[in-house]
Amino acid sequence: MADQNWVENDEPLLVARSLSKSFGRINACRDVSFSLYPGEVLAIVGESGSGKSTLLQMLSGQLAPSAGHVSYRMRDGVTRDLATLGEAERRFLFRTDWGFVHQDPAQGLRMAVSAGANVGERLMAVGWNHYGRIRETASDWLTRVEIDVARIDDAPRTYSGGMRQRLQIARNLVTEPRLVFMDEPTGGLDVSVQARLLDLLRSLVAELNLAVVIVTHDLAVARLLSHRVMVMKGGRVIETGLTDQVLDDPREPYTQLLVSSILPP
């Protein structure tokens, strides 16, 4: 897939070192390490219960690891351990430099306020206060995610599932984040709606040079969007590599099972 603006010798944006999480006697995630570079899309694949959502929660600072560290290179160029960030700093990061696209748009949107306000709210949170400019930027973003601007004053509860998901993406991207976490962004959508959303995500990611960590159980989504893939099973990363390498030449028994379970198109 496209990876423009990709610099060869840059520094990682996000680094996970030996991340583990246990809930009582259950080890949800064990010893996961990787680096993510600007503009790079990493897919985490595996079945339910493999630990991929737990990992995403730790990477995005929403869940404290039992062991290990996550560090992030802030906009000022300084790399910080997420555990040392104060609550206010962490929230600020989430409102500006990070995005989080939930599987269920209702979790990432305010369903009862207008679409324009949903997008504008993120801008106001970073200090924008000129109503006209906020509305103009919100309209631009609605257009970019292919939502008719005539619907700007309608609340997302009046939107279809696909529109809601596109609105959630606009709300996340309006502050020009460098890193976006996505948790099964196409789950629960009709196949035709999925294709449109994937295509939109693919071009936005390339255009904005976004780094993305995307959790999905759908290998077709991983193939279309990601550069690299990590396969998880039982809380461990069992195979990792270039996406087409892992999908076309899988080595581990479990990865071979996953790949062979895809129905031919």
Contact residues toward other proteins (CB under 8 A) are 2-4, 6, 8, 37, 40, 195-196, 198-199, 202, 206, 224, 227-228, 241-242, 244-245, 248-249, 251-253, 256-257, 260
Q: In the complex, what is the shortest distance from the CB of residue 248 to other proteins, in angstroms, rounded to a whole number? A: 6
Contacts of 44 (CB under 8 A, 6+ apart): 52, 55, 56, 213, 214, 215, 216, 229, 230, 232
Residue 256 falls in which region: left (phi positive, over 0), alpha (psi -120 to 50) or beta: alpha
Question: Can you tell me whether residue 140 is helix, strand or coil?
Answer: helix
Between the CA of residue 177 and those of 49, 169, 208, what are the distances in Å? 29, 11, 9
Q: Please identify, using beta-carbon distances, which residue of 15 and 111 lies nearer to other proteins.
A: 15
Tell me whether residue 188 or residue 253 sits nearer to other proteins (CB atom).
253
Instruction: Output the smallest distance, CB 199 to other proteins, in A.
Output: 5
Is the Cβ of residue 10 or residue 136 nearer to other proteins in the bound state? Answer: 10
The H helix count followed by the E strand count for the chain is: 10, 10
> How far are the Cα atoms of 25, 61, 106, 138, 224 from residue 205, in angstroms, in the given order?
39, 22, 22, 19, 12
Quick one: 63 or 200, whose CB is closer to other proteins? 200
Closer CB to other proteins, 136 or 248, in the complex = 248
Please state the closest distance from residue 126 (CB atom) to other proteins, in A.
Answer: 31
Nearest CB to other proteins, comparing residues 90 and 144: 144
Question: CB of residue 96 vs other proteins: minimum separation in angstroms?
Answer: 26
In the bound complex, what is the minimum distance in angstroms from residue 98's beta carbon to other proteins? 22
Is the separation of the CB atoms in 180 and 173 below 8 Å? yes
Give least dist CB 39 to other proteins, A: 10
Judge contact between 238 and 32, C-beta under 8 A.
Answer: no
At position 169, the amino acid (one-letter code) is I
